[in-house]
Structure 1
Amino acid sequence: MDFKMKEEVGFYTELPFGRLDIAGDEEYGFRPFQLLVASLAVCSGGVLRKIMKKMRMDFEDIQMKTSVERNEEIADRVEKVHIHFLIKGNDLNEAKLHKALELTRKNCSMVRSVEDSIEIVETFEIV
């Protein structure tokens, strides 16, 4: 990816899907930490979806809620990301979902990339 500076503030890149604006101020683009958290959540959600399909689990929807802990004393460093999956389906087995979440963690490239520096907590509930 190539990034170019914007006149106002921040940077942007052109990708096949469209332009991505990034800035420290939400008025001018996505904040870097938002993209980090989105990458972790969406990668995990996509992997979980594939695993649940392979396990032949009957689900209709997966949503994620995230929360972030940052350390203001160390450059607002992201220290912890909690990803909570809301899974809607029929006759979902909690034990199978725990196994699917374990496999998700092992196979999500974004989580694996930061696992030694950011604490990632994953939980779920059946809705």
Structure 2
Amino acid sequence: MEFKMNEKGFETTVDYGTLHISGNEEYGFRPFQLLVSSIAVCSGGVLRKVLERMRMSFDDITVQAKVTRVEDEPNRISDIQLHFVIKGSELSEDKMEKALKVTRKNCSMVQSVKDSIHITESFEIIV
């Protein structure tokens, strides 16, 4: 990937389109938003695949991310709490806990930051 500076930040073009990145969210995605999005969506996508392989039917998955930043260390992200809301009628809490463990091990974004950002997962099942 190549990132080109412009008057408001940086941009890159990928197959899907142009991604605008800026420290000012009026002009593009902020870098921390992209980092958190990558972790949340990677985890959600892996969870979807894990549930499908476990033959657990579900209707929807929503991932909520709560971010803790350390102001004393250039606003470094220290913690991300991922909360998965899974909608389905026949979901088991025990199997969901197992699915989340497998998800954590197989999400490349979580594995990439696990030694620098504390990531926790929780879930709720909605019928």
**Moved >2 Å (runs of 4+):** none
When the two chains are superposed, the root-mean-square deviation of aligned CA atoms in Å is 0.5
Q: Which residue of 2 aligns with 1:103?
A: 102
Tell me the distance in 2 between the aligned counterparts of 1:30 and 1:53: 32
Spell out, residue by residue over 1:62-93, the C-alpha distance to the aligned partner (whole angstroms, 9 max, x if none).
00111100001000000000110000011100
Number of aligned positions between the proteins: 126
Alpha-carbon distance, 1:118 to partner: 0.2
Unpaired runs of at least 5, structure 1: none
Q: Which residue of 2 aligns with 1:5?
A: 5
Tell me the distance in 2 between the aligned counterparts of 1:94 and 1:47: 18
Tell me the distance in 2 between the aligned counterparts of 1:58 and 1:49: 10
* Structural mapping, 1:42-121, within 5 Å: 42-121=41-120
Tell me the distance in 2 between the aligned counterparts of 1:78 and 1:93: 32
Q: TM-score if structure 1 supplies the norm length? A: 0.98
Q: TM-score if structure 2 supplies the norm length? A: 0.98
Q: Which residue of 2 aligns with 1:125?
A: 124
Tell me the distance in 1 between the aligned counterparts of 2:82 and 2:20: 24
Tell me the distance in 1 between the aligned counterparts of 2:30 and 2:105: 27
Spell out, residue by residue over 1:12-56, the C-alpha distance to the aligned partner (whole angstroms, 9 max, x if none).
000000000000000010000000000000000000000000000
Alpha-carbon distance, 1:6 to partner: 1.0
Alpha-carbon distance, 1:58 to partner: 1.1
